[in-house]
Amino acid sequence: MNQPSKPIARSEQLYQRACRLLPAGVNSPVRAFRAVGGTPRFIADAHGPFITDADGNRYIDYVCSWGALILGHSNDIVSDAVAAAARRGASYGAPHEGEVLLAEAVNAAMPGMEMLRFVNSGTEATMSAIRLARAATGRAKIIKFDGCYHGHADALLAKAGSGLATFGLPDSAGVPPEMTAHTLVAPYNDLAAVEQIMAQSGAEVAAVIVEPVAGNMGCVPPADGFLQGLKRITEQHGALLILDEVITGFRVGRSGASGLYGVKPDLTCIGKIIGGGLPVGAYGGRRELMQLVAPLGPMYQAGTLSGNPVAMAAGLAVLQQLDGTAYERIARMAADLEAGIQQAAAAAGVPAQTNRVGSMLSVFFTDRPVTDTAIAAETDRKLYGRLFHAMLERGVYTTPSALETWFVSTSHTDAEIEATVQAFGEALREAAVTH
């Protein structure tokens, strides 16, 4: 299963050409391998749990398009649905049955999304949910958590995680201070900090937005009572709770983190999985809030390609294949992977912590439990970078940053998990002695 490393000449050529026209050769920063160094692999083909680069090297994939591909790559039913939909027209700019079917499927799984609106990305979903919360409350401030990433809208680029933390930029250039002036940032898992902010500014806070399981500082689960606490505090102060389930929606269970942890948000944002690999996001929630959305109400939000028929068909084909058995299976495989990683790290004498929720998993090189982004940032990320490359050489593609989450898909089998555990053990021994 594990292949010896092969040349990457074609990836290198493509990377050079790409760098002439695309910033760092990519269309989204973390793909550029800046956190781990080296040449990004240009992918030519992907099937099931495998991606194959332009030089013909095949890797077991744990990025899975950053969590979007819960069924793995090129799932037959999804591919057929996409092809059939494309033949009926790529975009109508008018309503169609596919939007109704996907909205019904989402609503059935996540009943808290009493009404919803489809958009084209997670960024659009969170940006629109914030606008809606402000419209509904007549308040301007929002609270977000340090290390939670909610896409790249200006107001949400205050202390965002993943790519930004990796590059050591607390905020993005080009965002005027006025745009984040209403964004208050609290440490993740720290209810007391939220209480404190609310005690001072509660009457001005429109919403608290949170990743219910953080995925952009590596995988960091919510502390016991954290989400319920946020629900209570927002209610007390007349603010809204927005769960950003762009990663967790249809990932940690069919009803997302909201179902898993039993917390009912006012608004929910989803994306990734509901598009089956095509660009889709959605925001939704309580009916009286969603009735404020144009043209029913005064909160304006629109999109030329929103509800795109090909994307709706892909999403529907994914949701139709996700039953309880699928979630049990991927959680069990991720648990096996986690156990194998822990054993391999112990055998190599390397301090390591794993965090896992269902099929979301991270390994951090530290002896401290990782409960927020400050702790995640202090872990041995250089060792992770060396491990990443040693894994790549052994045919396993993990996240090219320590501060991202690995995803197991339904297409992974025990054979891939076993091969990964073996590769991890070898790679870690190699990475731990190389300096």
Which amino acid makes up residue 215? G
The smaller minimum CB distance to ligand PLP, of residues 211 and 416, is found at 211
Contacts (Cβ under 8 Å, ≥6 apart) of 285: 112, 113, 114, 115, 116, 129, 265, 266, 267, 268
The smaller minimum CB distance to ligand PLP, of residues 153 and 350, is found at 153
| 48, 49, 151, 358: which one binds ligand PLP (CB under 6 A) | 151
CB of 215 to ligand PLP, least distance (A): 5
Quick one: how far is CA 270 from the chain centroid?
Answer: 10
| 57, 121, 355, 401: which one binds ligand PLP (CB under 6 A) | 121
Q: Work out the number of other CB atoms within 10 angstroms of the CB of residue 270.
A: 31
The smaller minimum CB distance to ligand PLP, of residues 65 and 420, is found at 65
Q: Which two tokens stand for residue 216?
A: 């952009």
| Residue closest to 200 by CA, chosen among 132, 143, 243, 138 | 143
Question: How many DSSP H helices and E strands does the chain contain?
Answer: 15, 14
List the x/- string, 61-90, binding to ligand PLP by CB under 6 A. -----x------------------------
The smaller minimum CB distance to ligand PLP, of residues 98 and 215, is found at 215
Alpha helices by DSSP H, 22-162? 76-87, 97-109, 122-137
Interface with ligand PLP (CB under 6 A), residue total: 16
Regarding 149 and contact with ligand PLP (CB under 6 A), the answer is: yes
| 48, 72, 112, 122: which one binds ligand PLP (CB under 6 A) | 122
The smaller minimum CB distance to ligand PLP, of residues 8 and 142, is found at 142
Regarding 126 and contact with ligand PLP (CB under 6 A), the answer is: yes
The smaller minimum CB distance to ligand PLP, of residues 36 and 68, is found at 68
Task: Specify the 3-state DSSP secondary structure of 257.
Answer: helix
DSSP string, 35-56: TT-SPPPPEEEEEBTEEEETTS
The smaller minimum CB distance to ligand PLP, of residues 121 and 371, is found at 121
Residues 166-225 close enough to bind ligand PLP by CB under 6 A: 211, 215-216
Q: Which two tokens stand for residue 389?
A: 């490359």
CB of 67 to ligand PLP, least distance (A): 7
Regarding 400 and contact with ligand PLP (CB under 6 A), the answer is: no
What's the Cα-to-Cα distance from 269 to each of 86, 282, 296, rounded to whole Å?
Answer: 26, 6, 20
Residue 30: DSSP 8-state: G
List the x/- string, 246-285, binding to ligand PLP by CB under 6 A. xx-----------------------x---------x----
- Distance (Å, whole) CA 218 – CA 372: 9
Regarding 163 and contact with ligand PLP (CB under 6 A), the answer is: no
- Distance (Å, whole) CA 13 – CA 231: 51
| 11, 57, 123, 420: which one binds ligand PLP (CB under 6 A) | 123
Residues 17-36 close enough to bind ligand PLP by CB under 6 A: none
Regarding 307 and contact with ligand PLP (CB under 6 A), the answer is: no
- Distance (Å, whole) CA 351 – CA 366: 5
Residues carrying an active site annotation: 149, 244, 272
Angle, helices 191-201 vs 226-236, to 10°: value is: 10
DSSP string, 236-255: HTT-EEEEE-TTTTTTSSTT
* Chain contacts with ligand PLP (rule: CB under 6 A): 66, 121-123, 126, 149-151, 211, 215-216, 244, 246-247, 271, 281
